[in-house]
A and B are shown apart, each in its own frame.
Chain A
Amino acid sequence: MEVLIHYQSVDIYRQENLVLKNVEMELRKGEFLYIIGKVGSGKSSLLKSMYADIPIGSGVGRVLGYDVKHIKNKQIPFLRRKLGIVFQDFQLLTDRSVNENLAFVLKATGWKKKVEIDTRIHEVLVQVGMERKGYKMPHELSGGEQQRIVIARALLNNPEIILADEPTGNLDPQTADQIVKLLKGISETGTAVIMATHNLKFLKEYPARVLCCKDEKLEPMELIHDLLV
Protein backbone atom coordinates (compact mmCIF):
# COMPACT_ATOMS: atom_id res chain seq x y z
CA MET A 1 0.00 0.00 0.00
CA GLU A 2 1.15 3.46 -0.92
CA VAL A 3 2.40 5.61 1.97
CA LEU A 4 0.67 9.00 1.98
CA ILE A 5 2.04 10.50 5.18
CA HIS A 6 5.38 9.68 6.67
CA TYR A 7 6.57 11.33 9.91
CA GLN A 8 9.94 10.39 11.34
CA SER A 9 11.19 11.76 14.68
CA VAL A 10 9.19 14.93 14.22
CA ASP A 11 8.96 17.55 16.97
CA ILE A 12 5.92 19.82 16.92
CA TYR A 13 5.85 23.18 18.66
CA ARG A 14 3.08 25.68 19.31
CA GLN A 15 4.91 28.98 19.50
CA GLU A 16 7.82 28.04 21.80
CA ASN A 17 6.11 25.16 23.58
CA LEU A 18 6.89 21.60 22.61
CA VAL A 19 3.61 19.70 22.24
CA LEU A 20 4.69 16.46 20.61
CA LYS A 21 8.12 14.93 20.64
CA ASN A 22 9.65 12.36 18.37
CA VAL A 23 6.50 11.59 16.39
CA GLU A 24 6.73 8.46 14.26
CA MET A 25 3.76 7.67 12.06
CA GLU A 26 2.64 6.53 8.66
CA LEU A 27 -0.65 6.72 6.85
CA ARG A 28 -1.42 4.43 3.94
CA LYS A 29 -3.90 4.71 1.12
CA GLY A 30 -7.51 4.08 2.12
CA GLU A 31 -6.72 3.77 5.80
CA PHE A 32 -8.91 5.07 8.63
CA LEU A 33 -6.90 6.32 11.57
CA TYR A 34 -8.01 7.72 14.90
CA ILE A 35 -5.88 10.13 16.85
CA ILE A 36 -7.10 10.33 20.41
CA GLY A 37 -5.94 12.27 23.41
CA LYS A 38 -7.04 14.77 25.97
CA VAL A 39 -7.77 18.38 25.19
CA GLY A 40 -4.48 20.16 24.57
CA SER A 41 -2.53 16.96 24.04
CA GLY A 42 -1.48 17.98 20.53
CA LYS A 43 -4.00 16.26 18.24
CA SER A 44 -4.89 19.48 16.45
CA SER A 45 -1.26 20.57 16.25
CA LEU A 46 -0.34 17.29 14.62
CA LEU A 47 -3.06 17.75 11.99
CA LYS A 48 -2.19 21.41 11.50
CA SER A 49 1.42 20.44 10.85
CA MET A 50 0.17 18.10 8.12
CA TYR A 51 -1.49 20.93 6.21
CA ALA A 52 1.40 23.30 6.91
CA ASP A 53 -0.52 25.69 9.14
CA ILE A 54 2.19 25.29 11.79
CA PRO A 55 5.80 24.39 11.05
CA ILE A 56 7.49 21.24 12.32
CA GLY A 57 10.57 21.62 14.47
CA SER A 58 12.87 18.77 13.60
CA GLY A 59 12.71 15.42 11.89
CA VAL A 60 11.30 14.39 8.53
CA GLY A 61 7.68 15.05 7.59
CA ARG A 62 6.36 14.08 4.20
CA VAL A 63 2.71 14.55 3.22
CA LEU A 64 1.67 13.45 -0.28
CA GLY A 65 5.19 14.02 -1.55
CA TYR A 66 5.58 17.46 0.04
CA ASP A 67 8.28 18.04 2.63
CA VAL A 68 6.21 19.94 5.22
CA LYS A 69 9.31 21.08 7.05
CA HIS A 70 10.80 22.96 4.12
CA ILE A 71 7.62 23.69 2.17
CA LYS A 72 7.57 27.12 0.53
CA ASN A 73 4.62 29.46 1.09
CA LYS A 74 3.84 29.26 -2.62
CA GLN A 75 3.49 25.48 -2.49
CA ILE A 76 1.16 25.37 0.52
CA PRO A 77 -2.04 25.94 -1.51
CA PHE A 78 -1.14 23.00 -3.75
CA LEU A 79 -0.60 20.70 -0.77
CA ARG A 80 -3.94 21.76 0.71
CA ARG A 81 -5.74 21.05 -2.56
CA LYS A 82 -4.71 17.42 -2.28
CA LEU A 83 -6.05 17.25 1.26
CA GLY A 84 -9.62 17.53 2.42
CA ILE A 85 -9.72 19.30 5.75
CA VAL A 86 -12.67 19.09 8.14
CA PHE A 87 -12.51 21.58 10.97
CA GLN A 88 -14.10 21.41 14.36
CA ASP A 89 -15.26 24.99 13.96
CA PHE A 90 -16.35 24.43 10.34
CA GLN A 91 -14.45 27.36 8.75
CA LEU A 92 -17.14 28.02 6.18
CA LEU A 93 -17.15 31.36 4.38
CA THR A 94 -19.87 33.07 6.37
CA ASP A 95 -20.57 35.75 3.79
CA ARG A 96 -21.92 33.44 1.07
CA SER A 97 -24.28 30.54 0.52
CA VAL A 98 -23.36 26.85 0.70
CA ASN A 99 -23.24 26.60 -3.09
CA GLU A 100 -20.99 29.64 -3.29
CA ASN A 101 -18.76 28.21 -0.56
CA LEU A 102 -18.26 25.08 -2.60
CA ALA A 103 -17.95 26.99 -5.86
CA PHE A 104 -15.23 29.15 -4.30
CA VAL A 105 -13.09 26.09 -3.60
CA LEU A 106 -13.59 24.73 -7.10
CA LYS A 107 -12.81 28.08 -8.73
CA ALA A 108 -9.79 28.55 -6.47
CA THR A 109 -8.50 25.19 -7.61
CA GLY A 110 -8.81 25.98 -11.27
CA TRP A 111 -12.29 24.83 -12.28
CA LYS A 112 -13.64 27.11 -15.00
CA LYS A 113 -16.82 25.68 -16.53
CA LYS A 114 -20.03 26.54 -14.68
CA VAL A 115 -21.78 23.33 -15.69
CA GLU A 116 -18.93 21.18 -14.34
CA ILE A 117 -18.81 23.21 -11.13
CA ASP A 118 -22.56 22.86 -10.57
CA THR A 119 -22.45 19.14 -11.30
CA ARG A 120 -19.59 18.53 -8.89
CA ILE A 121 -21.27 20.58 -6.14
CA HIS A 122 -24.43 18.54 -6.57
CA GLU A 123 -22.45 15.29 -6.41
CA VAL A 124 -20.74 16.10 -3.12
CA LEU A 125 -23.92 17.47 -1.57
CA VAL A 126 -25.69 14.21 -2.46
CA GLN A 127 -22.79 12.30 -0.91
CA VAL A 128 -23.34 14.03 2.44
CA GLY A 129 -27.13 14.10 2.11
CA MET A 130 -27.45 17.88 1.84
CA GLU A 131 -28.48 18.27 -1.79
CA ARG A 132 -31.49 20.42 -0.90
CA LYS A 133 -29.65 22.94 1.31
CA GLY A 134 -27.25 24.41 -1.23
CA TYR A 135 -28.98 27.80 -1.37
CA LYS A 136 -28.76 28.40 2.39
CA MET A 137 -26.32 30.64 4.19
CA PRO A 138 -24.04 28.81 6.65
CA HIS A 139 -25.59 30.56 9.67
CA GLU A 140 -28.99 29.23 8.66
CA LEU A 141 -27.80 25.64 9.08
CA SER A 142 -27.50 23.60 12.24
CA GLY A 143 -24.08 22.49 13.48
CA GLY A 144 -24.48 19.01 12.07
CA GLU A 145 -25.59 20.38 8.73
CA GLN A 146 -22.65 22.77 8.61
CA GLN A 147 -20.29 19.91 9.39
CA ARG A 148 -21.76 17.93 6.51
CA ILE A 149 -21.15 20.88 4.22
CA VAL A 150 -17.56 21.03 5.44
CA ILE A 151 -17.15 17.35 4.63
CA ALA A 152 -18.71 17.97 1.22
CA ARG A 153 -16.19 20.77 0.69
CA ALA A 154 -13.36 18.46 1.71
CA LEU A 155 -14.51 15.92 -0.88
CA LEU A 156 -14.71 18.37 -3.80
CA ASN A 157 -11.31 17.72 -5.32
CA ASN A 158 -11.24 13.96 -4.64
CA PRO A 159 -8.52 14.24 -2.01
CA GLU A 160 -6.25 11.35 -1.15
CA ILE A 161 -6.48 12.17 2.54
CA ILE A 162 -9.20 13.72 4.67
CA LEU A 163 -7.98 15.33 7.88
CA ALA A 164 -10.84 15.65 10.34
CA ASP A 165 -10.03 17.62 13.47
CA GLU A 166 -12.66 16.83 16.10
CA PRO A 167 -15.40 16.82 13.46
CA THR A 168 -17.95 15.83 16.08
CA GLY A 169 -16.79 18.20 18.77
CA ASN A 170 -19.73 20.56 18.44
CA LEU A 171 -22.42 18.02 17.68
CA ASP A 172 -25.02 16.02 19.55
CA PRO A 173 -24.39 12.24 19.86
CA GLN A 174 -26.76 11.17 17.08
CA THR A 175 -25.47 13.70 14.58
CA ALA A 176 -21.90 12.95 15.60
CA ASP A 177 -22.53 9.28 14.94
CA GLN A 178 -23.83 10.06 11.45
CA ILE A 179 -20.76 12.17 10.70
CA VAL A 180 -18.35 9.42 11.74
CA LYS A 181 -20.33 6.91 9.74
CA LEU A 182 -20.03 9.24 6.76
CA LEU A 183 -16.26 9.54 7.19
CA LYS A 184 -15.91 5.79 7.63
CA GLY A 185 -17.88 5.30 4.42
CA ILE A 186 -15.59 7.72 2.61
CA SER A 187 -12.52 5.80 3.77
CA GLU A 188 -13.99 2.64 2.29
CA THR A 189 -14.01 4.26 -1.14
CA GLY A 190 -10.20 4.57 -1.03
CA THR A 191 -9.67 7.97 0.59
CA ALA A 192 -7.54 7.81 3.71
CA VAL A 193 -9.09 9.52 6.74
CA ILE A 194 -7.39 10.79 9.89
CA MET A 195 -9.85 11.68 12.56
CA ALA A 196 -8.84 13.40 15.77
CA THR A 197 -11.31 12.88 18.58
CA HIS A 198 -11.64 12.55 22.31
CA ASN A 199 -14.85 10.58 21.99
CA LEU A 200 -13.81 6.99 22.65
CA LYS A 201 -17.25 5.62 21.88
CA PHE A 202 -16.54 5.74 18.15
CA LEU A 203 -13.51 3.47 18.54
CA LYS A 204 -15.76 0.66 19.56
CA GLU A 205 -18.49 1.25 17.01
CA TYR A 206 -16.20 1.90 14.06
CA PRO A 207 -12.96 0.14 14.95
CA ALA A 208 -9.76 1.20 13.21
CA ARG A 209 -6.13 1.85 13.96
CA VAL A 210 -5.63 4.26 16.89
CA LEU A 211 -2.77 6.58 17.81
CA CYS A 212 -2.82 8.27 21.19
CA CYS A 213 -1.34 11.65 22.15
CA LYS A 214 -0.15 11.53 25.72
CA ASP A 215 2.70 13.18 27.64
CA GLU A 216 4.09 14.83 24.50
CA LYS A 217 4.25 11.47 22.73
CA LEU A 218 2.25 9.85 19.96
CA GLU A 219 1.90 6.13 20.59
CA PRO A 220 -0.02 3.29 18.96
CA MET A 221 -2.80 1.79 21.03
CA GLU A 222 -3.52 -1.86 20.59
CA LEU A 223 -5.67 -2.54 23.60
CA ILE A 224 -8.68 -0.48 22.70
CA HIS A 225 -11.01 -2.88 24.40
CA ASP A 226 -9.15 -2.51 27.68
CA LEU A 227 -9.54 1.21 27.35
CA LEU A 228 -13.21 1.01 26.74
CA VAL A 229 -14.09 -1.49 29.41
Chain B
Amino acid sequence: MGRKQTQTTASFFNAKLTSTISTSLVLFLLGLTTLLILVTQDLSAYVKENIGFSIIISDNVKEAEIQKMTKQLEKAPYVKEIQHISKEQALEELKEELGEDPEAFLGFNPLLASVEIKLKSEYANNDSIAIIEKSLKKNSDIRDILYRKDLIQAVNDNVRRISIIFIILASVLMIISFALISNTIRLTVYSKRFTIYTMKLVGAKDSFIRSPFIWGNIGSGIIAAIFANAMLAALLYGINNEVDGVIQLISPDVMIATGVVVLVAGILLTGISAYFAVNKYLNMKYNKLFLV
Protein backbone atom coordinates (compact mmCIF):
# COMPACT_ATOMS: atom_id res chain seq x y z
CA MET B 1 0.00 0.00 0.00
CA GLY B 2 2.85 2.27 0.89
CA ARG B 3 4.17 2.05 -2.64
CA LYS B 4 0.87 3.02 -4.22
CA GLN B 5 0.61 5.99 -1.88
CA THR B 6 4.02 7.32 -2.96
CA GLN B 7 3.08 6.85 -6.60
CA THR B 8 -0.06 8.95 -6.35
CA THR B 9 1.74 11.67 -4.42
CA ALA B 10 4.58 11.63 -6.91
CA SER B 11 2.33 11.99 -9.94
CA PHE B 12 0.41 14.76 -8.22
CA PHE B 13 3.69 16.49 -7.42
CA ASN B 14 4.74 16.10 -11.05
CA ALA B 15 1.51 17.64 -12.32
CA LYS B 16 1.89 20.54 -9.91
CA LEU B 17 5.55 20.97 -10.83
CA THR B 18 4.83 20.98 -14.56
CA SER B 19 2.17 23.65 -14.24
CA THR B 20 4.37 25.70 -11.91
CA ILE B 21 7.24 25.58 -14.39
CA SER B 22 5.08 26.69 -17.31
CA THR B 23 3.64 29.47 -15.17
CA SER B 24 7.11 30.61 -14.17
CA LEU B 25 8.29 30.68 -17.80
CA VAL B 26 5.37 32.87 -18.75
CA LEU B 27 6.01 35.13 -15.76
CA PHE B 28 9.68 35.32 -16.77
CA LEU B 29 8.70 36.67 -20.19
CA LEU B 30 6.29 39.08 -18.57
CA GLY B 31 9.04 40.26 -16.23
CA LEU B 32 11.44 40.71 -19.11
CA THR B 33 8.96 42.93 -20.96
CA THR B 34 8.26 44.92 -17.80
CA LEU B 35 12.00 45.40 -17.33
CA LEU B 36 12.40 46.57 -20.94
CA ILE B 37 9.52 49.01 -20.66
CA LEU B 38 10.79 50.48 -17.41
CA VAL B 39 14.37 50.75 -18.68
CA THR B 40 13.14 52.40 -21.89
CA GLN B 41 11.19 54.89 -19.82
CA ASP B 42 14.26 55.67 -17.75
CA LEU B 43 16.36 56.05 -20.89
CA SER B 44 13.84 58.29 -22.61
CA ALA B 45 13.67 60.48 -19.52
CA TYR B 46 17.47 60.59 -19.52
CA VAL B 47 17.62 61.55 -23.20
CA LYS B 48 14.89 64.14 -22.82
CA GLU B 49 16.53 65.70 -19.80
CA ASN B 50 19.56 66.44 -21.92
CA ILE B 51 17.29 68.56 -24.11
CA GLY B 52 17.47 72.21 -23.30
CA PHE B 53 17.61 75.71 -24.68
CA SER B 54 19.85 78.73 -24.38
CA ILE B 55 18.71 82.16 -23.32
CA ILE B 56 20.88 84.82 -24.94
CA ILE B 57 21.11 87.89 -22.76
CA SER B 58 21.27 91.37 -24.29
CA ASP B 59 24.67 92.98 -24.20
CA ASN B 60 23.80 95.84 -21.87
CA VAL B 61 22.53 93.73 -18.99
CA LYS B 62 24.72 93.75 -15.90
CA GLU B 63 26.26 90.55 -14.57
CA ALA B 64 24.48 90.92 -11.21
CA GLU B 65 21.13 91.13 -12.91
CA ILE B 66 21.82 88.02 -14.94
CA GLN B 67 22.65 86.19 -11.75
CA LYS B 68 19.42 87.40 -10.19
CA MET B 69 17.48 86.18 -13.22
CA THR B 70 19.23 82.81 -13.07
CA LYS B 71 18.21 82.46 -9.41
CA GLN B 72 14.60 83.21 -10.35
CA LEU B 73 14.57 80.80 -13.27
CA GLU B 74 15.99 78.03 -11.10
CA LYS B 75 12.65 77.96 -9.26
CA ALA B 76 10.63 77.50 -12.46
CA PRO B 77 8.88 74.10 -12.58
CA TYR B 78 10.39 73.08 -15.91
CA VAL B 79 14.03 73.60 -14.97
CA LYS B 80 16.10 70.53 -14.25
CA GLU B 81 19.49 72.20 -14.46
CA ILE B 82 20.52 75.77 -15.05
CA GLN B 83 23.91 77.20 -15.89
CA HIS B 84 24.89 80.77 -16.35
CA ILE B 85 27.63 81.36 -18.92
CA SER B 86 29.12 84.83 -18.71
CA LYS B 87 30.65 86.70 -21.63
CA GLU B 88 34.15 85.84 -20.35
CA GLN B 89 33.40 82.14 -20.01
CA ALA B 90 31.94 82.06 -23.50
CA LEU B 91 35.08 83.70 -24.80
CA GLU B 92 37.32 81.21 -23.03
CA GLU B 93 35.41 78.36 -24.59
CA LEU B 94 35.62 79.87 -28.04
CA LYS B 95 39.34 80.48 -27.58
CA GLU B 96 39.87 76.84 -26.82
CA GLU B 97 37.85 75.83 -29.82
CA LEU B 98 39.46 78.19 -32.31
CA GLY B 99 42.98 78.14 -30.88
CA GLU B 100 43.26 81.91 -31.11
CA ASP B 101 41.81 84.87 -29.29
CA PRO B 102 39.13 86.73 -31.26
CA GLU B 103 39.37 89.64 -28.81
CA ALA B 104 42.97 90.20 -29.93
CA PHE B 105 42.08 91.26 -33.47
CA LEU B 106 38.53 92.53 -32.87
CA GLY B 107 39.51 94.63 -29.89
CA PHE B 108 36.37 93.61 -27.94
CA ASN B 109 34.52 90.50 -26.81
CA PRO B 110 31.90 89.80 -29.47
CA LEU B 111 30.11 87.14 -27.45
CA LEU B 112 27.00 87.51 -25.38
CA ALA B 113 26.25 86.12 -21.94
CA SER B 114 23.76 83.27 -21.88
CA VAL B 115 21.85 80.98 -19.55
CA GLU B 116 21.72 77.28 -20.44
CA ILE B 117 18.60 75.46 -19.25
CA LYS B 118 18.11 71.68 -19.20
CA LEU B 119 14.45 70.78 -19.09
CA LYS B 120 12.63 68.22 -16.98
CA SER B 121 11.56 65.32 -19.19
CA GLU B 122 7.86 66.15 -19.11
CA TYR B 123 8.58 69.66 -20.49
CA ALA B 124 11.05 68.49 -23.12
CA ASN B 125 8.83 68.93 -26.16
CA ASN B 126 8.27 71.70 -28.67
CA ASP B 127 4.83 72.70 -27.41
CA SER B 128 6.05 73.29 -23.87
CA ILE B 129 9.17 75.07 -25.06
CA ALA B 130 7.06 77.39 -27.22
CA ILE B 131 5.01 78.43 -24.19
CA ILE B 132 8.14 78.87 -22.08
CA GLU B 133 9.68 80.90 -24.88
CA LYS B 134 6.66 83.20 -25.06
CA SER B 135 6.71 83.93 -21.35
CA LEU B 136 10.48 84.52 -21.29
CA LYS B 137 10.41 86.84 -24.32
CA LYS B 138 8.38 89.35 -22.28
CA ASN B 139 11.60 90.07 -20.45
CA SER B 140 13.40 92.81 -22.42
CA ASP B 141 16.79 91.69 -21.09
CA ILE B 142 16.49 88.52 -23.12
CA ARG B 143 17.62 88.97 -26.62
CA ASP B 144 16.91 85.57 -28.01
CA ILE B 145 16.02 82.00 -27.16
CA LEU B 146 17.78 79.25 -29.06
CA TYR B 147 16.76 75.61 -29.30
CA ARG B 148 16.88 72.78 -31.85
CA LYS B 149 13.31 72.30 -32.86
CA ASP B 150 13.96 69.42 -35.29
CA LEU B 151 16.09 67.47 -32.80
CA ILE B 152 13.52 67.79 -30.02
CA GLN B 153 10.79 66.73 -32.41
CA ALA B 154 12.80 63.69 -33.52
CA VAL B 155 13.57 62.60 -29.95
CA ASN B 156 9.94 62.93 -28.93
CA ASP B 157 8.68 61.08 -31.97
CA ASN B 158 11.08 58.20 -31.47
CA VAL B 159 10.38 57.88 -27.79
CA ARG B 160 6.64 57.86 -28.46
CA ARG B 161 7.01 55.23 -31.18
CA ILE B 162 9.13 52.97 -29.00
CA SER B 163 6.72 53.34 -26.07
CA ILE B 164 3.75 52.41 -28.24
CA ILE B 165 5.55 49.34 -29.56
CA PHE B 166 6.43 48.23 -26.06
CA ILE B 167 2.93 48.83 -24.74
CA ILE B 168 1.45 46.76 -27.56
CA LEU B 169 4.07 44.06 -26.93
CA ALA B 170 3.28 44.06 -23.22
CA SER B 171 -0.48 43.85 -23.77
CA VAL B 172 -0.10 41.00 -26.24
CA LEU B 173 2.19 39.20 -23.83
CA MET B 174 -0.26 39.80 -20.99
CA ILE B 175 -3.06 38.21 -23.02
CA ILE B 176 -0.85 35.29 -24.04
CA SER B 177 0.31 34.72 -20.48
CA PHE B 178 -3.23 34.82 -19.15
CA ALA B 179 -4.33 32.33 -21.80
CA LEU B 180 -1.39 30.00 -21.12
CA ILE B 181 -1.65 30.13 -17.36
CA SER B 182 -5.41 29.73 -17.36
CA ASN B 183 -5.16 26.79 -19.76
CA THR B 184 -2.63 25.09 -17.53
CA ILE B 185 -4.83 25.59 -14.51
CA ARG B 186 -7.95 24.55 -16.39
CA LEU B 187 -6.29 21.25 -17.20
CA THR B 188 -5.52 20.54 -13.56
CA VAL B 189 -9.05 21.51 -12.56
CA TYR B 190 -10.51 19.50 -15.43
CA SER B 191 -8.91 16.35 -14.04
CA LYS B 192 -10.83 17.01 -10.81
CA ARG B 193 -14.21 17.72 -12.36
CA PHE B 194 -15.86 14.62 -10.94
CA THR B 195 -14.38 15.34 -7.54
CA ILE B 196 -15.93 18.79 -7.73
CA TYR B 197 -19.29 17.23 -8.60
CA THR B 198 -19.04 14.80 -5.69
CA MET B 199 -18.20 17.65 -3.35
CA LYS B 200 -21.39 19.36 -4.44
CA LEU B 201 -23.40 16.20 -3.82
CA VAL B 202 -22.27 15.93 -0.22
CA GLY B 203 -23.47 19.45 0.53
CA ALA B 204 -20.33 21.58 0.19
CA LYS B 205 -20.93 25.21 -0.70
CA ASP B 206 -19.42 26.50 -3.96
CA SER B 207 -17.07 28.79 -2.09
CA PHE B 208 -15.84 25.91 0.09
CA ILE B 209 -15.07 23.81 -2.98
CA ARG B 210 -13.40 26.71 -4.74
CA SER B 211 -11.08 27.96 -2.02
CA PRO B 212 -8.51 25.10 -1.90
CA PHE B 213 -8.19 25.30 -5.70
CA ILE B 214 -7.68 29.06 -5.59
CA TRP B 215 -5.22 29.04 -2.67
CA GLY B 216 -3.32 26.06 -4.05
CA ASN B 217 -2.89 27.75 -7.40
CA ILE B 218 -1.96 31.09 -5.85
CA GLY B 219 0.65 29.14 -3.88
CA SER B 220 2.17 27.73 -7.06
CA GLY B 221 1.82 31.20 -8.61
CA ILE B 222 4.00 32.63 -5.84
CA ILE B 223 6.56 29.85 -6.26
CA ALA B 224 6.51 30.42 -10.03
CA ALA B 225 7.02 34.16 -9.49
CA ILE B 226 10.03 33.47 -7.26
CA PHE B 227 11.44 31.17 -9.95
CA ALA B 228 10.81 33.79 -12.64
CA ASN B 229 12.49 36.52 -10.59
CA ALA B 230 15.47 34.26 -9.96
CA MET B 231 15.75 33.64 -13.71
CA LEU B 232 15.55 37.40 -14.41
CA ALA B 233 18.26 38.06 -11.84
CA ALA B 234 20.44 35.33 -13.35
CA LEU B 235 19.88 36.79 -16.82
CA LEU B 236 20.89 40.30 -15.73
CA TYR B 237 23.92 38.89 -13.96
CA GLY B 238 24.91 36.97 -17.08
CA ILE B 239 24.48 39.96 -19.38
CA ASN B 240 26.43 42.16 -17.00
CA ASN B 241 29.31 39.72 -17.08
CA GLU B 242 29.38 39.85 -20.87
CA VAL B 243 28.72 43.55 -21.38
CA ASP B 244 30.11 45.60 -18.54
CA GLY B 245 28.03 48.41 -17.11
CA VAL B 246 24.66 47.22 -18.36
CA ILE B 247 23.55 46.91 -14.78
CA GLN B 248 24.04 50.66 -14.33
CA LEU B 249 21.26 51.30 -16.84
CA ILE B 250 18.84 49.55 -14.53
CA SER B 251 18.11 51.41 -11.35
CA PRO B 252 17.30 49.51 -8.12
CA ASP B 253 13.78 51.00 -8.28
CA VAL B 254 13.23 49.40 -11.67
CA MET B 255 14.47 46.03 -10.42
CA ILE B 256 12.20 46.11 -7.38
CA ALA B 257 9.24 47.26 -9.51
CA THR B 258 9.81 44.40 -11.96
CA GLY B 259 9.99 41.87 -9.12
CA VAL B 260 6.76 43.19 -7.66
CA VAL B 261 5.01 43.18 -11.05
CA VAL B 262 6.02 39.53 -11.59
CA LEU B 263 4.82 38.54 -8.12
CA VAL B 264 1.51 40.38 -8.38
CA ALA B 265 0.93 38.99 -11.89
CA GLY B 266 1.71 35.49 -10.57
CA ILE B 267 -0.84 35.82 -7.78
CA LEU B 268 -3.57 37.51 -9.82
CA LEU B 269 -3.29 35.40 -12.98
CA THR B 270 -3.34 32.08 -11.11
CA GLY B 271 -6.02 33.13 -8.63
CA ILE B 272 -8.37 34.52 -11.28
CA SER B 273 -7.78 31.56 -13.61
CA ALA B 274 -8.48 29.04 -10.86
CA TYR B 275 -11.65 30.90 -9.87
CA PHE B 276 -13.08 30.73 -13.37
CA ALA B 277 -11.86 27.20 -14.06
CA VAL B 278 -13.58 25.82 -10.95
CA ASN B 279 -16.73 27.83 -11.60
CA LYS B 280 -17.01 26.26 -15.03
CA TYR B 281 -17.30 22.78 -13.52
CA LEU B 282 -19.32 23.92 -10.51
CA ASN B 283 -22.09 25.10 -12.79
CA MET B 284 -21.96 22.09 -15.07
CA LYS B 285 -24.64 19.41 -15.17
CA TYR B 286 -23.46 15.89 -14.41
CA ASN B 287 -24.17 14.58 -17.92
CA LYS B 288 -22.05 17.31 -19.46
CA LEU B 289 -19.01 16.37 -17.37
CA PHE B 290 -18.53 13.35 -19.61
CA LEU B 291 -18.72 15.37 -22.81
CA VAL B 292 -16.25 18.17 -22.13
Given A53-B286, A93-B195, A108-B208, A80 and B202 touching (CB < 8 A)?
A: yes
Q: Is A43 an interface residue (CB 8 A)?
A: no
Q: Is B205 an interface residue (CB 8 A)?
A: yes
Q: Is B99 an interface residue (CB 8 A)?
A: no
Known A77-B204, A83-B203, A137-B4; 13 more pairs at CB < 8 Å: A15-B287, A53-B201, A77-B206, A78-B203, A80-B200, A80-B202, A80-B203, A91-B197, A93-B199, A94-B194, A95-B12, A104-B202, A109-B203
Tell me the minimal C-beta distance from A149 to chain B in angstroms.
Answer: 12
Determine which of B1, B197, B199, B200 lies in contact with A140 in the assembled complex, contact meaning CB atoms within 8 Å.
Answer: B1
Tell me the minimal C-beta distance from B198 to chain A in angstroms.
Answer: 5
Chain B residue numbers with a CB within 8 Å of A80 are 200-203
Using CB atoms, name the residue of chain B closest to A80. Answer: B203
B195 touches A136 (CB 8 A): no
Q: Which residues of B contact A (CB under 8 A)?
A: 1, 4-5, 8, 12, 192, 194-195, 197-206, 208-209, 286-287
Determine which of A94, A109, A140, A153 lies in contact with B195 in the assembled complex, contact meaning CB atoms within 8 Å.
Answer: A94
B205 touches A137 (CB 8 A): no
Tell me the minimal C-beta distance from A120 to chain B in angstroms.
Answer: 14
Q: Is A81 an interface residue (CB 8 A)?
A: yes
B201 touches A108 (CB 8 A): no
A77 touches B1 (CB 8 A): no
Using CB atoms, name the residue of chain B closest to A85. Answer: B201
Q: Is A92 an interface residue (CB 8 A)?
A: yes
- Count of A residues near B, CB < 8 Å? 27
Determine which of A77, A87, A95 lies in contact with B200 in the assembled complex, contact meaning CB atoms within 8 Å.
Answer: A77
Q: Is A51 an interface residue (CB 8 A)?
A: yes
Chain A residue numbers with a CB within 8 Å of B192 are 95
Q: Which residues of A contact B (CB under 8 A)?
A: 15, 51, 53, 76-81, 83, 85, 87, 91-95, 104-105, 107-109, 136-137, 140, 153, 157
Chain A residue numbers with a CB within 8 Å of B202 are 80, 85, 91, 104-105, 108, 153
- Complex CA gap A153/B199 in Å reads 12
Tell me the minimal C-beta distance from B7 to chain A in angstroms.
Answer: 11
Tell me the minimal C-beta distance from B214 to chain A in angstroms.
Answer: 16
Chain B residue numbers with a CB within 8 Å of A105 are 202-204
A92 touches B8 (CB 8 A): no
- Complex CA gap A15/B285 in Å reads 11
B4 touches A140 (CB 8 A): yes
Using CB atoms, name the residue of chain B closest to A81. Answer: B203
Determine which of B12, B197, B204, B286 lies in contact with A108 in the assembled complex, contact meaning CB atoms within 8 Å.
Answer: B204
A91 touches B203 (CB 8 A): no
A137 touches B204 (CB 8 A): no
